[in-house]
């Protein structure tokens, strides 16, 4: 039945499955969860979009999908086609940044686009392209880049409302805006003002730097250990959350890194089980190793379409929908919070503990923490320990007075 429905969905005008879509047809017809596939075929807007594309005359390409509304249906169709290797994998977060600016630029006044386009394309997007080329462009990076462009657009609108020209902007004008703007706008617009200064569009405007904020959310030792114990031993928690929660509490890994871990990072030998998070393997506690083994064995059944891993695109440890797409860090964070497993406080606590025991270079090599970040945590741990010792000495001295 599933095969007939798939054939009806992906058939061209001649009643035959479009040759380019044969891999997708095969994956749908042999999916490990056929009921989910049948329900999707009956009700999903993305299935209807696929039927429309299949009946059309045009070759289905990334560029064809780029010209469609970038809604959930288009995203899901693209994911399916990439997952089944009908379309090549690309840096989608970066490509969506380009598409977003292309759409946004159409609505900008001519006087604004003369300024915004070179800032967006030559400064923000060019740097994003460089990072994407190195494979280091995440959803968070894309959101930050959009915010910088959006903040520049809003700043130009503010200038219009104040009947000011960018070239006539003074420090007093900028100070007024800084007082009125939201904190998020002030942070995001720093890049634009630095760029206008460098290009001579504004004259040596001073923009307040982003203050270094110290982490304030931590767990006490007892609470941290209790949460880790729950992750490792509480069978009532979902398996994925147990693994994610343990990785955060043991190694301080951020969610954005965890969702991109692949099963080939896990291996075992006569000495134990290891996971390579960055450059070097890390010995796992036996309980966590068993959880990861279980996830590798059963986790693939979560997605209606199973994994189609290759040497170039290995299978994800936490497959999404489809299995080639990583899980949402935001969704995982919300699920962890519902189970009383906060993310930020636990990660801060883990990093602080490691920084007090391991050299920064070891933390960087084992867990992929940037060396500057590792050094900052080491300094924080040293300062806090020095302060603790000073407080103890002061208390001891007062008792002897």
pLDDT digits (tens, 9 = 90+) for 120-163: 999 999 999 998 988 778 888 899 999 999 999 999 999 999 99
Residue 224 has pLDDT above 90, yes or no: yes
Q: What is the pLDDT of residue 44?
A: 86
Instruction: Give Rg (Cα) of the chain.
Output: 26
More confident residue, 339 or 10: 339
Question: Which residues, other chains included, contact 27 with Cβ-Cβ below 8 Å and sequence gap of 6+?
Answer: 83, 84, 305, 306, 308
> Tens digit of pLDDT for each residue in 168-190?
999 999 999 999 988 888 889 99
Average pLDDT over residues 72-93: 89
pLDDT reported for residue 390:
53
Confidence of residue 306 (pLDDT cuts 50, 70, 90): low
For residue 227, the tally of other CB atoms under 10 A from its CB is 24
Per DSSP, the three-state class of 290 is helix
Alpha-helical segments (H) within 56-109:
62-66, 72-83, 92-105
Partners of residue 275 on adjacent β-strands: 266, 282
Beta bridge partners of 326: 319
> Residue 333: what pLDDT?
93
DSSP annotation of 314 reads P
Residue 322 has pLDDT above 50, yes or no: yes
Which whole number is the average pLDDT over 51-79?
Answer: 89
Tens digit of each residue's pLDDT (9 = 90 or more) over 3-39: 778 887 787 777 778 888 888 888 888 777 778 778 8
Angstrom distance (rounded) from CA 292 to CA 9:
37
3-state class (DSSP) for residue 304: coil
- CA nearest to 326, candidates 169, 166, 139: 139
Residues 6+ apart with CB under 8 A from 148: 124, 188, 189, 191, 192
Q: d(Cα 312, Cα 306) in Å, to the nearest integer? A: 17
Report the share of the chain in percent with pLDDT over 90: 44
How does pLDDT run across 347-397, given as a tens digit for each residue?
889 888 888 777 777 777 677 677 777 777 777 777 664 554 454 455 555
The model carries a pTM of 0.72
């Amino acid at each position: 039945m599933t095969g007939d429905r798939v054939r009806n969905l992906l058939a061209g005008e001649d009643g035959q499955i479009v040759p380019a879509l044969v891999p997708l047809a095969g994956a749908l017809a042999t999916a490990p969860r056929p009921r989910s596939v049948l329900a999707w075929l009956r009700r999903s807007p993305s299935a209807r979009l696929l039927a429309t594309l299949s009946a059309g005359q045009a070759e289905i390409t990334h560029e064809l999908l780029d010209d469609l509304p970038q809604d959930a249906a288009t995203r899901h169709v693209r994911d399916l086609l990439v997952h089944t290797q009908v379309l090549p994998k690309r840096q989608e977060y970066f490509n969506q940044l380009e598409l977003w600016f292309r759409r946004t630029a159409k609505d900008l006044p001519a006087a604004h686009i003369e300024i915004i386009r070179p800032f967006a394309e030559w400064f923000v997007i060019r740097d994003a392209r460089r990072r994407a080329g190195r494979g280091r462009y995440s959803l968070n990076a894309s959101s930050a880049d959009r915010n910088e462009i959006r903040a520049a657009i809003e700043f130009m609108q503010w200038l219009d409302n104040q009947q000011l020209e960018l070239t006539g902007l003074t420090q007093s004008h900028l100070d007024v805006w800084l007082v009125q703007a939201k904190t998020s706008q002030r942070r995001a617009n720093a890049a634009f003002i630095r760029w206008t200064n460098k290009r001579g569009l504004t004259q040596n405007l001073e923009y307040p730097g982003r203050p270094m904020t110290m982490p304030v959310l931590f767990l006490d030792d007892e609470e941290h250990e209790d949460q880790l114990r729950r992750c490792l031993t509480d069978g009532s928690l979902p398996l994925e959350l147990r693994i994610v929660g343990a990785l955060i509490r043991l190694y301080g890994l951020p969610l954005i890194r965890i969702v991109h871990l692949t099963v080939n990072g896990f291996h075992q030998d006569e000495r134990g089980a290891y996971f390579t998070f960055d450059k070097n393997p890390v010995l796992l506690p036996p309980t966590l190793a068993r959880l990861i083994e279980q996830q590798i064995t059963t986790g693939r059944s979560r997605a209606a379409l199973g994994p189609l891993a290759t040497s170039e695109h290995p299978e994800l440890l936490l497959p999404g929908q489809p299995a080639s797409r990583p899980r949402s860090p935001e969704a995982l964070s919300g699920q962890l919070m519902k189970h009383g497993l906060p993310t930020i406080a636990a990660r801060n606590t883990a990093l602080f503990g490691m920084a007090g025991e391991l050299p920064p270079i070891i933390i960087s090599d084992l867990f992929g923490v940037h060396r500057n970040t590792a050094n900052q945590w080491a300094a924080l741990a040293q300062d806090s320990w020095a302060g603790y010792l000073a407080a103890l000495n002061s208390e001891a001295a007062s008792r002897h007075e």
